[in-house]
Amino acid sequence: MQMTTDVNTIITPEMRACIGYASEVAVLTEKLAGSDVRRYVNATGDTNPLWLDDEYARAAGYRGRVIPPLMIIQLYRWMEGKRFTGWEKVPVPEGYTDVRNAGQEVEWLRPLYLGEQPTVQHRVVDIVAKEGRRTGVGIYLTRVSEFRNDAQEIVVSVRATSVRLPAQKYSEESRPKEG
């Protein structure tokens, strides 16, 4: 694929055809256990009793211990089929290898409980090109990831955008120094 830098023509029909593409549903390899939550708590220091104490969670109106919300959006890394995140199918032009996070919106809809085996599915929802002041034309890819509980209800929806930029070329003077 030839490198194109025109903001009006860089998005090809093949790229546009990826809008609406959905991954297969990925399933967590096993049910969420107390040991999973303890590892999360130990790593983050987030000792909210909703994650650690069934009686406390029930007194707060939940049916039992709740999975920490930020833990949920990282679960796809543990899931079967985890390699597909929605963006890999988009045939970006050659040389667009500099990838950056361009934003994320998270909508928490309902709790996920200890003992559930959640699923996630990613869907490409938008592809646009924008001219940057210093970076040139960037290709912005947006996906929606829906995490579901055992009842197949959406518990968390994440709308994430990444930008693909042309590989940076450094002069010897501007190259980052090691050490």
Q: What is the CATH number of the domain that holds 24?
A: 3.10.129.10
Considering the domain boundaries, does residue 1 fall inside one? no
- Total domains in the chain come to 1
Considering the domain boundaries, does residue 17 fall inside one? yes
The answer on pLDDT for 177 being more than 90 is no
Considering the domain boundaries, does residue 123 fall inside one? yes
Considering the domain boundaries, does residue 20 fall inside one? yes
The continuous run of DSSP H or E covering 43 comes out as helix 34-44
List, for residues 74-119, the tens digit of each pLDDT value.
Answer: 887 766 555 556 667 788 888 898 889 999 999 999 999 999 999 9
Considering the domain boundaries, does residue 95 fall inside one? yes
Considering the domain boundaries, does residue 64 fall inside one? no
Using alpha carbons only, give the angle 96, 6, 138 rounded to the nearest 5 degrees. 40
Rounded CA-CA distance 112/38 in Å is 16
Torsion of Cα atoms, 141 then 78 then 35 then 146, to 10°: 40
pLDDT confidence bin for 4, thresholds 50/70/90: very low
**pTM flag (> 0.75):** yes
Dmax of the chain from CA atoms?
A: 63
Provide DSSP, 81-126: TTT--SSTTS-PPTT--EEEEEEEEEEE-S--BTT---EEEEEEEE
List, for residues 107-159, the tens digit of each pLDDT value.
Answer: 999 999 999 999 999 999 999 999 888 778 899 999 999 999 999 999 999 99
Q: Which amino acid is at 172?
A: E
> Which residue bears the tokens 């996920």?
112
Could you list the residue range(s) of the whole structural domain that residue 115 is in?
A: 13-30+69-165
Residue 26 contacts residue 76 (beta carbons within 8 Å): yes
Considering the domain boundaries, does residue 178 fall inside one? no
Considering the domain boundaries, does residue 52 fall inside one? no
